[in-house]
């Protein structure tokens, strides 16, 4: 990364960089940062009981005046290869930014999570995300390459007004739980001009998020662009005003997906998928209200997150499976207000593509292939996309 820019308001503040890893003294220069910040591998000297170093950027000439580019980092940041190095530390955090306002993270370097050893253990508990932004406001993340994270690559939790652009996020298709960009309980987030290919969701949006825009986005391999999962452990959630427009999704398990657990409550509403090209995607369009990511079967429950006012317009391409459109909705709380226009999905192998519907209610306009299978037709539903003004109003 070339620049890590910290901007202040009317008062001066000091930003602490917590490097939650084992750093030997030889890796930290008293006169500046190394061009390659590499953390020790297994077998390094780890005699100290606490393995945390706090660096005050002010000691290196940083000025929080809102104008000076305080820190310049180039090259590659590399995580420990051996998971045992993290013993005694918070494994949920590696590069962690907490409650920072007007932060810009940019550059051209690479952040390498060295996740191969973590993937073989395939455990979601106590696994590290490469980068986490928590409760940050007016945030920009751009021109970065993030590879092989231990779990999620970049997570945004409880953030407000975020612009994410020109990112490349890469991990093998078989790497578990390696979501590319994860957005949780955040509002006013724009993702644009980026490429993500991992072993899980390219983008996942969960936990009371709203006003999210994704445009000019390439996804694959991975599990597609997902809203959810929502409602796990009988939780309540509200997701609304999400727009995806201008996306290429190729060689993925899913295309555009909404997934909810049985037993949840709340709603997922006003979600639009526009101008999406699918190439060899197993489930190009899918709403799954019976999602169960568990080693044992999930119990049947009647309550569900309400899914309504969902739009699919100009969705074209090839399906790797027979079911190109799948709406598996809740018996207790059916999907309503589904709308299809100019959808053309054909079988990648040359067979016949089909639609599946269960408790799904909506309408279509123009050519839709495969033909929709709604339980009944509804009047045309006019939906409003979040505008630029809406993003600036909170």
- Among all residues, which ones are annotated catalytic? 223
Return the DSSP state at 14.
-
How many CB atoms lie under 10 A from the CB of residue 137? 15
CA 147 to chain centre: 14
Residues in contact with 8: Cβ distance below 8 Å, sequence separation at least 6, in sequence order: 64, 65, 66, 102
In angstroms, the Cα distances linking 107 to 56, 146, 161, 166, 186 are: 21, 12, 20, 10, 24
Q: Are 268 and 258 in contact (CB under 8 A)?
A: yes
Residues in contact with 380: Cβ distance below 8 Å, sequence separation at least 6, in sequence order: 339, 363, 365
Q: Are 186 and 174 in contact (CB under 8 A)?
A: no
CA nearest neighbour of 203 among 187, 225, 220: 225
Residues in contact with 328: Cβ distance below 8 Å, sequence separation at least 6, in sequence order: 286, 287, 288, 289, 290, 356, 358
Residues in contact with 39: Cβ distance below 8 Å, sequence separation at least 6, in sequence order: 21, 22, 23, 27, 78, 79, 80, 85
CA nearest neighbour of 314 among 256, 362, 386: 256
- What is the chain's length? 394
């Amino acid at each position: 990364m070339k620049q890590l820019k910290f901007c202040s308001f009317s008062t001066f503040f000091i930003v602490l960089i917590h490097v939650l890893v084992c750093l030997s003294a030889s890796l930290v220069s008293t006169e500046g940062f190394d061009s390659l910040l590499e953390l020790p591998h297994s077998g390094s000297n780890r005699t100290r009981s606490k393995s945390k170093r706090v660096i005050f950027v002010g000691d290196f000439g940083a000025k929080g005046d809102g104008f000076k580019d305080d820190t310049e980092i180039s090259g590659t940041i590399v995580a420990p290869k051996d998971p045992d190095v993290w013993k005694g530390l918070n494994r949920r955090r590696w590069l962690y930014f907490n409650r920072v306002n007007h932060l810009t993270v940019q550059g051209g370097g690479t952040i390498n999570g060295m996740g191969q050893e973590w993937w073989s253990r395939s455990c979601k508990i106590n696994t590290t995300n490469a980068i986490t932004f928590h409760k940050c406001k007016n945030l920009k993340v751009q021109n970065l390459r993030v590879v092989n994270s231990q779990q999620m690559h970049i997570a945004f939790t409880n953030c407000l007004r975020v612009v994410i652009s020109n990112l490349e996020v890469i991990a093998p298709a078989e790497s578990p739980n390696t979501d590319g960009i994860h957005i949780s309980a955040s509002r006013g987030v724009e993702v644009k001009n980026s490429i993500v290919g991992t072993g899980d969701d390219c983008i996942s949006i969960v936990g009371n998020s709203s006003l999210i825009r994704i445009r000019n986005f390439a996804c694959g391999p991975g599990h597609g662009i997902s809203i959810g999962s929502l409602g796990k452990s009988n939780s309540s959630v509200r997701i609304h005003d999400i727009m995806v427009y201008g996306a290429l999704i190729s060689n993925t398990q899913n295309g555009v997906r909404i997934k909810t657990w049985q037993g949840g409550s709340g709603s997922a509403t006003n979600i639009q998928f526009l101008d999406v090209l699918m190439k060899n995607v197993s489930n190009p369009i899918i709403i799954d209200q019976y999602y169960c990511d568990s080693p044992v079967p999930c119990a049947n429950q009647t309550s569900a997150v309400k899914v309504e006012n969902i739009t699919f317009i100009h969705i074209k391409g090839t399906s790797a499976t027979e079911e190109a459109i799948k709406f598996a909705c809740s018996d207790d709380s059916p999907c309503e207000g589904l709308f299809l226009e100019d959808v053309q999905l054909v079988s990648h192998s040359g067979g016949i593509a089909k639609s599946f519907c269960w408790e799904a209610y909506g309408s279509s306009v123009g050519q839709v292939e495969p033909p929709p299978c709604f339980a009944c037709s509804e009047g045309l539903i006019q939906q409003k996309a979040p505008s630029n003004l809406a993003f600036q109003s909170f």
